Structure 1
Amino acid sequence: MKVVVASQNPVKVNATLDAFQEQFPADKIDLISVDVASGVSDQPMGDEETRQGAVTRAQNALAEHPDADFGVGLEGGICDLSGIAYTFAWMVVLSKAGQVSASRSMLLPLPDKVMSLIGSGIELGHAIDEVFGTQNIKQKGGAFDVLTNGRMTRQSVYVDTLFCALLPFRSPAFRTT
C-alpha cells in the first residue's frame, strides 16, 4: 500500500506510519513524505481553517503522487472556546478513489503566556520553546508532551486521531454494501 503524507516533520510522518500499520497490519506500507502547501496561514486559527489546511495538504500530496493509494494531511491549529485557548489537529485521509475521511484530535488547553506570544505572530511550537525552554518541540513531543509532563505526546495524539480517520477505509461497519 502506497501512502503519501503531506509533511516532512518526523512526528507527523511517524504518526502516519504507525496509524496505517495498526489499521492495515497485513499490508506493507510504502510511506512517502512530501512538502506541500496547506493553503492556510502558518498558524491556523479556528476549526474550519485548520481542517481546510489538512484537506488541502492531503489533496496536494495525492496530486504529487497520483499512484498512491492514500494522501494524508495533518494540520495543527488553535481555537478559543468560552475564553480558553486550545490546540488541536485535524487528520484527513483521501483515497485515490476520492473518498475522504477526517478526524479531529482532543483539545489541549494553552497557557496565557503561550497565547500572548501567538498573538504577537509566533507559531505555537516556537511559543512553547520560548516559554518552556525547549528546542524544536514541534518535531518532538509537542505541546502535549510539555503540558502533560510526558503523559501524552504530539505523536501519540496524532496516531490515535489518524487511526480514527482511517476507520471508514477499514471497518466493515462503514461499508454500504
Structure 2
Amino acid sequence: MIFPKRKNIQTATREQLIVVGSKNPVKVNSTSKGFHKIFDEQHFIVEGLNINSQVSDQPMGDQETYQGAFNRASNAQKTFPEADFWVGIEGGVEDTGEEMSAFAWVVILNKAGKIGKSKTATFILPEAISKLVRGGMELGEADDKVFDRENSKQESGAVGILTKGAVDRAKYYEQAVSLALIPLSNEGLY
C-alpha cells in the first residue's frame, strides 16, 4: 500500500502562530511538541491565553469534556483571529459503573476552517479521588489533597502521579495533540 506523502499545512517558511486556550504550561508545551513532531519542517510560536471553556470547572462525561475543548479552541480563535491554529484541551471525568475514569479531549482548528479532534486514553481513578470529585472538587485539587501536593494539574497531573511518572501529563496530552492533527496534516484524505 502506498501512503500519501505528509504535506505541511503551508509551504511558506514563516513562523506560524498557535494559540492554546489555556495558560497551563503542560497544555502549552504538549501542544508545541505535538505540532513539532507532526510538522517537523515548520516553525511555530505557541502562546497560551486564559480562555473560558464555558463548561463546569470539572467537566463530567464525554460530551461536556469535548464541548469544553471545542469552546476553548473556538473562543481562542475569536479572541486572537490572527493566529494560524487554535487549540483546546479539556480534562474530564466520567462515572463508569462504580468507578470513575479520567481522560481529556483535544480540539484543533485551523485558518482553513478544518477541525482535528482526539481523545486521550482513559484510566481509572482511585476511590479516594473519585469521592472528592463527586463531592464537587476539581480533579487537580483532589490529587493535591490525596497526595499532599500543590498545583499538580500544572505539573504531572493524576496520570503522572498514579503511574509514578511512567506517563506524565505532558506526554499524555502530546500524543492526543498529534492524533488531533491527523486531518490537518493529511489534507488529501480528509
Higher relative helix content? 1
* Matching residue within 48, 55, 62 for 1:47: 62
3-state SS of the aligned residue for 2:170?
helix
3-state SS of the aligned residue for 1:113?
helix
Aligned to 2:180: 165
Unpaired runs of at least 5, structure 1 = none
Report how far residue 174 of structure 1 moved.
2.4
- 1:101-131: CA deviations, max 9, x gaps? 1100000110110011112211000101110
- 1:40-95: CA deviations, max 9, x gaps? 00000000000000000000111111111110000000012232201100000011
The residue correspondences of 1:88-103 to structure 2 (distance < 5 A) are 88-103=103-118
Aligned to 1:7: 22
3-state SS of the aligned residue for 1:61?
helix
The residue correspondences of 1:118-157 to structure 2 (distance < 5 A) are 118-157=133-172
What is the alpha-carbon distance in structure 1 between the residues aligned to residue 114 and residue 180 of structure 2? 11
Normalising by structure 1, what TM-score?
0.95
Moved over 6 A (4+): none
Distance 1:147 1:170, change over 3 A: same
Which AA in structure 2 matches 1:4? Answer: V
What is the alpha-carbon distance in structure 2 between the residues aligned to residue 150 and residue 132 of structure 1? 14
Tell me how many residue pairs correspond in the alignment. 175
- 1:4-41: CA deviations, max 9, x gaps? 10010000000000001111111110112111110100
Unpaired runs of at least 5, structure 2 = 1-15
Normalising by structure 2, what TM-score?
0.89
Aligned to 1:69: 84
Matched, 1:108 2:102: no
Give the number of the structure whose alpha-carbon radius of gyration is greater.
Answer: 2
Matched, 1:29 2:69: no
Root mean square deviation, CA, Å: 1.1
Report how far residue 172 of structure 1 moved.
5.5
Contact 2:115 2:184 in 1 (8 A): no
Matched, 1:78 2:93: yes
Report how far residue 173 of structure 1 moved.
6.3
What is the alpha-carbon distance in structure 1 between the residues aligned to residue 165 and residue 188 of structure 2? 34
Q: Alignment identity in percent?
A: 42
Aligned to 1:17: 32
